[in-house]
Amino acid sequence: MKLIIASSNKGKLKEFSALLSPLGYEVYSAKEAGIDIEVEETGKTFAENSALKARAIYDICKECVLADDSGLCVDALGGAPGVYSARYGGLESEKERTALLLENMKDVPEDKRTAHFVCTIHFIYADGREIAVEGRVDGKIAFEPTGENGFGYDPVFLYNGVSFASVSQEEKNQVSHRANALKALLGKLEKGE
């Protein structure tokens, strides 16, 4: 079954494909499906942003669409970068945003460096029915980046003391916020919700 992912983020597409392909979904980015629009993320929550993206793509293609919005919420920073994770500090690159995060955390002691990744998924069936779910994974912010895998804030997000960038894609796909959101989505899909 064709499933269009409302994202051009190569890291996300790789994760979604790895998690959904075994279930029979043919995963395509919007661009691969011939849809080339940029949806402005004007929502104040992850759920609002994922719904905006899914509905914009669905209105064009009328096929199964999955959109997510995800980000890192750091307790010591009042939940920042939150919905602005991909635009944190107005910076362009992942490396710059990660460096800014570490700079903003430089005086925060280890026991106060708690954080979590959140992922909301908005799924629209070809017939227009909609499902919204959320996944989360708790961890801490490292003092410096480690690891070569992953993307975004993975090098500084510690899960059980190891950065997400230091584990294999398969390991991350067992525990990540995106994996947890997909598990919730699959539970609803199996019930026909």
161 three-state secondary structure: coil
Q: Rounded to an integer, what distance in angstroms lies between the CA atom of residue 15 and that of residue 32?
A: 16
Is 107 catalytic? The answer is: no
| DSSP bridge pairs for 3 | 27
Q: What is the CATH number of the domain that holds 42?
A: 3.90.950.10
Q: What is the pTM of this model?
A: 0.86
What CA–CA distance (Å, rounded) separates 43 from 192? 28
Residues 69, 111, 127, 154: which is the catalytic one? 69
Would you state the pLDDT for residue 170?
A: 83
pLDDT tens across the length of the chain (193 residues): 899 999 877 877 887 887 778 777 899 999 999 998 888 889 999 999 999 999 999 999 999 999 999 999 999 999 999 999 989 999 989 999 999 999 999 999 999 999 999 999 999 999 999 999 999 999 999 999 999 987 899 999 999 999 999 998 888 888 999 889 988 998 887 777 7
Instruction: Tell me what pLDDT residue 60 has.
Output: 94
Closest CA to 173 of 6, 4, 16, 13: 16
Domain count, the chain: 1
The domain of 62 spans 2-191
Q: In sequence order, what are the residues at sequence separation of 6 or more whose Cβ sits closer than 8 angstroms to the Cβ of residue 17?
A: 27
